[in-house]
Amino acid sequence: MAATVVYWFRQDLRLADNPALLKAVALGSVLPIYILDDETAGCWKMGGASRWWLHQSLTELDRSLYGRLNVYRGRAEELLPQIVEKIAATAVCWNRCYEPWRIERDSIIKTRLTELGCPVYSNNGSLLWEPWQVLKKQGGPYKVFTPYYRKGCLSQPPPRAPLAAPAELELADPDDNCLSLAELGLLDGYPWHDKLTTCWSPGEVGGWRRLTAFLEQGLAGYREGRDFPAREHVSKLSPSLHFGELSPHQVWHAATAGALRQNLADDLDHFHSELAWREFSYYLLYHFPHLPDANFQPKFDRFPWQSEREPLSAWQQGLTGYPIVDAGMRELWQTGFMHNRVRMIVASFLVKNQLQHWHDGERWFWDCLLDADLASNSASWQWVAGCGADAAPYFRIFNPVSQGQRFDADGRYVRRFVPELARLPDRYLHSPWEAPASVLTQAGVVLGENYPQPFVDLKASRQRALDAYAAVKSV
Ligand code: FAD
């Protein structure tokens, strides 16, 4: 009888450049499985937007496996040994994950399966450099991005070339105990579907399409253009990278080839370094597993965060009265995505001008972002809040008016997501309260009625934030 090997898809929902899948294929016929393990994830179970993406991505993956993907819901720790025993599997293969709860769970599973006589093979399918390979000369992990990347990563062997999809994939008979995709219930209770379907194409093929379009139209000018939310200079590949529809190796090498063709050394260097920020986030999460829960700099434990809920609610709904902040929060709600520059602006506004805890923003992003990622989300929130590793200094408080005027000067971004301000002239678009009454009337804007008055005073809230910081900085 041919050996049957379980291949466990996790954050690698693709067939190409999948080292653990190639290993499984080399060992026998493959039972491909996916387990929705909300129980073990606990408070880090996937949010609503991620669930929508996952549903679509699994549908695509199942299609490329000829409808033979086996899906389950429950504790992987219990389910995997049951599956292995039922089909008498001779091995289990997976690509490694780096979230602390997954590392703990996977090591328990590995031990249990090994005791059952079923070896586990794990590979690196989602990071360019393993976190434990990049260490400072004197030992210990880097805490600052530039030396981590320039000295640490770039002195390692370069990212390996992507691997082809298995030439032949012999699939084992399906397990009659598995669920249908609909039974996973990923779409239950979330009113996202229609609006997201119009802007995204999850899955391996959709990811490649987006990557190709970015290399053809977005990479030239990326270095400068990536800061302007209305320009098409970012890849929007973060959900595909998060779910592993594309590997970072594929993206890294495709960008290198695309840049060579177009002579774009600077843009490429910058794009590679953004991929490296993703690596750095995973690196920090691996070496500092409390990153999602605790301030990286403990002195911030004493920071006087405000607890009233009204500012948080105004921010969530995009009703702060600051157009670039509101545009960002509405982009998030309508599309499941937000441009990186705007993520920094809205996050700074929440934690500094509104003095709300970065956890509140982190949780909202977790639920609403299609690319919600424990490593990048928590590292980035801590970075903006000033309490992270290599963080933006606390006194760097983004001014949403000047940020809007600089990065959305012609107002294309704000007009798209805050249509009630669309008829305001550019001059007042980012500060409508400064517009003369006649200009507001002509544009159909009634502040306090169809668009809010500013929720906080910028100058006073900035000073309040600096005073609060002064109280903790000497600790
Ligand atoms: P591109 O500019 O095209 O970059 C290519 C890839 O590089 C991205 O897809 C992403 O994987 C990676 N990347 C780029 N910038 C960063 C960065 N600053 N940090 C980490 N990786 C980066 N990113 C997530 O993937 N998931 C999150 O949950 C997340 N939460 C964030 C929260 C806040 C408050 C902030 C300020 C940033 C957050 N980011 C997060 C990082 C960044 O905003 C997104 O990765 C980026 O906007 C994705 O857009 P893109 O694919 O067009 O990026």
Residue in 98, 371, 407 to alter for ligand 1 test, most ligand atoms within 8 A of Cβ:
371
Distance 235 CA to ligand 1 centre (A): 10
**Residues enclosing ligand 1, CB less than 6 A?**
226, 234-238, 241-242, 274-275, 277-278, 281, 340, 343-344, 347, 365, 369, 371-373, 376-377, 380-381, 384
* Burial of 253 (C-beta count, 10 Å sphere; 0-12/13-18/19+): middle
Q: How far apart are the first and last CA of the chain?
A: 67
pLDDT at 390: 78
Q: What is the pLDDT of residues 107-132, one digit of tens each?
A: 999 999 999 999 999 999 999 999 99
Residue 52 designated active-site: no
pLDDT at 265: 97
Residue 358 designated active-site: yes
Residue nearest to atom 31 of ligand 1 (CA): 377
pLDDT at 1: 61
Residue 340 designated active-site: yes
Q: Which of 77, 78, 340, 420 is catalytic?
A: 340
In which residue ranges of the chain is pLDDT below 50? Answer: none
Output the pTM of the full model: 0.97
**307/249 Cα distance (integer angstroms):** 43
Residue nearest to atom 22 of ligand 1 (CA): 278
Residue 381 designated active-site: yes
Distance 145 CA to ligand 1 centre (A): 15
Residue in 50, 246, 376, 387 to alter for ligand 1 test, most ligand atoms within 8 A of Cβ:
376
Distance 247 CA to ligand 1 centre (A): 15
Residue nearest to atom 46 of ligand 1 (CA): 340
Residue in 153, 274, 350, 365 to alter for ligand 1 test, most ligand atoms within 8 A of Cβ:
274
Distance 184 CA to ligand 1 centre (A): 28
Residue ranges of E strands in 91-219:
91-95, 120-123
Q: How far is CA 339 from CA 206, 229, 233, 247, 301, in A?
A: 20, 6, 10, 21, 29
Strand partners, 32: 7
CA 368 vs. chain centroid, Å, equals 11
Is residue 44 within 8 A of residue 99, CB to CB? The reply is: yes
Q: How far is CA 12 from CA 17, 33, 252, 370, 432, in A?
A: 9, 12, 16, 16, 46
Q: Which of 123, 208, 305, 433 is catalytic?
A: 305
**CB atoms closer than 10 angstroms to residue 89:** 24
pLDDT at 356: 97
Q: Which of 8, 101, 192, 358 is catalytic?
A: 358
